[in-house]
Amino acid sequence: MDQLLQAISTGLLVGLTYAGLGVGFSLTWGATGVINAAHTSVAVLGAYLGYIALDRWGVDPLVALVGIVPLAFFAGWGFFEALLRPLKRRVRLVGMASVVLTLGVALVLESLTTVAFTADPRVVRTGYTGAGLALGPVRVGGGPLAAAVMSLVMLAAVYRFRQGTYTGRALRALEQEPEGAALTGIDVRRTSGIATGIGFATAAASGVALSLVYAFSPTTFLPWLVLTFLVVILGGVGTVLGVTVAGLITGLTVSVVALWIPFAWTNFVLFVVLILVLLARPTGLTTR
Amino acid sequence: MRRKGPSEGTTWLLLAAAAVGVALAPFTGMSVYLMSVAFTVMFHAALATGWNILGGYAGYESFGHAAFVGIGAYTSGLLLAELGWSPLFTAPVGALLAGVVALAVGAPVLRLRGPYFALVTLVVALAVSVVVLNLPRLGVAAGVFVPRPHDSPVMARFILYEAMAAILVVTVVCARLVERSRIGVGLRAIREDEEVAATQGVPTTRLKLVAFVLSAALAGLAGGIFSWSRGFLDPAEMFSTTLSVLVVLFALFGGRRSWIGPVLGAVTVTLAREVLFVAIGEHAAQILFGSLLVVVILFMPHGLIGPRPRLVTDGGTG
């Protein structure tokens, strides 16, 4: 029983972090139709920036987010202007074309980070990643807790932005009906740029969060990308709540299932869950 | 389906001549290195052409093609390592198994459209590899040694070359037969507009499944010979996500309208990678290669062979 409680609490914490990783991917897909396979490459870059801040200057990675998040946001906006907008003007079905383009970018980033930081796995060690909280029978690690709190704040901020600001509502209009949105006077180009910027910013911040829980290296982008796909396909495109629920389900599945079956099979269970969900709901759990 | 250009008989004759040329090429004194490069080129060409049957003609782009390569690779590799049966005879068994898995997986997965299909095939491929790697008793996750085709390295390369050449020919013939058949017409109708195709009486579900199974079986066939060439069943190599992505790239780069595109794409991209790898090193090559992907998709989205004829008008937005 204690074991189960422990697994549930760990699952919920990492689940929030997974949701944070997926939310920007889902948002960019919804608003621009672009599937950004380089999403988790940005997360890995964010993790490295946080690591450098701590290693070189002794700045806590979570504090370093003050610099990392704006940097990633404008990098994302620039990415949209430089590559995604030209792509959208040239091809009819942007979804598949964008997968290929961003996979190319992911390959470039993987090699660049390998050259810059070597292929050695890195671990972030701060005062709180080693500490832990005892809540009755359950022990909560400082790293996962900090990561989960940061992700929760981020998810809430994105949610508030989408519901309560003009640009956020413009973004939702774009998801529902791009042409209609343009007709009502929404600046599609600017809104798409901002959506991509938010995608990058949340990816980089989630990279920092994940670096508090897991070791990472330049090749980590692939397992993180698979995780992102799982969460977003399960949760749906352009929905913060859906992605959050999907992230929690994913985190819980992984940690609870590991109690009964060998660790190597946990991913398989996750894949089966995904396929079963898609059988019932071909476009995700919460899609309209 | 009559088109301008050489007649049906002439084209088959040209194809047969090309096949004989490829088969006889080693007798001109090819080095072991050249034969092994040619082997990889033909392996990639066969995979891309097989992938294109569903990915190109029907527009269902799978990012999990390596799963079927892996199934074929492990089937033939294990039958050789355990029972000593030659992959020349067991490759079709791997193809059959890959086809059966595709049949089981295809029924649910082919209901998904566009990007959902692409992402889920990638996930399914990972799931298949998890199953194979954790099957009890086989202990395959640690890797299995596969005996070489022949004691002499030259003979070994020669056997592998001819086997892969045969598989490439089989694949191209299959792709061309599909292209020219009612199945091909149906698949292209699905690519243009699946709803319209369905209302016009095209059995869309069945056609997609046929294309998926055929495409998977051809990958399993090639996989059987591939693992033979490596001498070792390395899970990361046999179920490589990179290979799945490369296959898509070959077809995209060459053009997906007919079988010529994927073959051309596989040949050019594989040779370019090989040369870059040797000339400027692994990381520089990958950076250049990734940039190439970006440039290709931006400036020639329809590939080397050029745009396909527009069957419906393009109401492109933004």
- pLDDT at residue B99, rounded to an integer: 95
Which pLDDT band holds residue A158 (cuts at 50, 70, 90)?
very high
Q: Rounded to whole angstroms, what are the CA distances from A53 to A56, A65, B97, B237?
A: 6, 10, 51, 36
Region for residue B231 given its phi and psi (left: phi exceeds 0; alpha: psi -120 to 50; beta: otherwise): left
Residue type, A147: A
Tell me the shortest Cα–Cα distance from A136 to chain B, in angstroms: 36
Q: Which residues of B touch A229 (CB under 8 A)?
A: 119, 122-123
The crossing angle, in degrees rounded to 10, of helices A221-235 and A240-257 is 120
Q: Is A269 on the interface with B (CB under 8 A)?
A: no
Using one digit for the tens of pLDDT, what is the confidence trace for B248-284? 888 988 888 888 889 999 999 899 888 888 888 888 8
Picking from B214, B291, B123, the residue whose alpha carbon sits closest to that of residue A226 is B123
Inform me whether the pLDDT recorded for A268 exceeds 60. yes
Name the residue with tokens 């019932």.
Answer: A280
Highest mean pLDDT among A191-200, B18-27, B147-156, B192-201: A191-200
Q: Is A19 on the interface with B (CB under 8 A)?
A: no
Q: Provide the CA A52 distance to its chain's centre, in angstroms.
A: 21
- By the 8 A CB rule, do B187 and B178 touch? yes
- pLDDT at residue B82, rounded to an integer: 83
Distance from C-alpha of A243 to C-alpha of A22, rounded to nearest angstrom:
7
Inform me whether the pLDDT recorded for A272 exceeds 60. yes
Using one digit for the tens of pLDDT, what is the confidence trace for A14-25? 999 999 999 999
Which pLDDT band holds residue B306 (cuts at 50, 70, 90)?
low
Distance from C-alpha of B47 to C-alpha of A138, rounded to nearest angstrom:
51
In sequence order, which residues have a C-beta less than 8 Å from that of residue A176 and are 6 or more positions away?
none
Q: B residues 243-282 near A, CB within 8 Å? A: 245, 248-249, 252, 282
Distance from C-alpha of B166 to C-alpha of B221, rounded to nearest angstrom:
11
DSSP letter at A139 equals E
Using one digit for the tens of pLDDT, what is the confidence trace for A73-93? 999 999 999 999 998 888 877
Q: What percent of chain B has pLDDT over 70?
A: 92
The sign one gets for the Cα dihedral B207, B210, B214, B216 is: positive
- By the 8 A CB rule, do B57 and B184 touch? yes
CATH architecture of A2-118+138-280: Orthogonal Bundle (1.10)
Tell me the shortest Cα–Cα distance from A255 to chain B, in angstroms: 18
- By the 8 A CB rule, do A234 and A246 touch? yes
**Comparing A92 with B200, which gets the higher pLDDT?**
B200
Sequence spans of domains, chain A: 2-118+138-280
Sequence spans of domains, chain B: 31-240
* Inter-chain touch B114–A86, beta carbons under 8 Å: no
Residue type, B124: V
Distance from C-alpha of B318 to C-alpha of B316, rounded to nearest angstrom:
7
- pLDDT at residue B315, rounded to an integer: 42
Alpha helical stretches, state H, chain A: 2-32, 39-57, 61-79, 85-90, 94-117, 127-130, 142-164, 166-176, 178-183, 188-211, 221-235, 240-257, 266-280
* Inter-chain touch A282–B119, beta carbons under 8 Å: no
Torsion angle of C-alpha atoms A252, A254, A257, A260, degrees rounded to 10? -130
Tell me the shortest Cα–Cα distance from B7 to chain A, in angstroms: 33
Which pLDDT band holds residue B230 (cuts at 50, 70, 90)?
confident
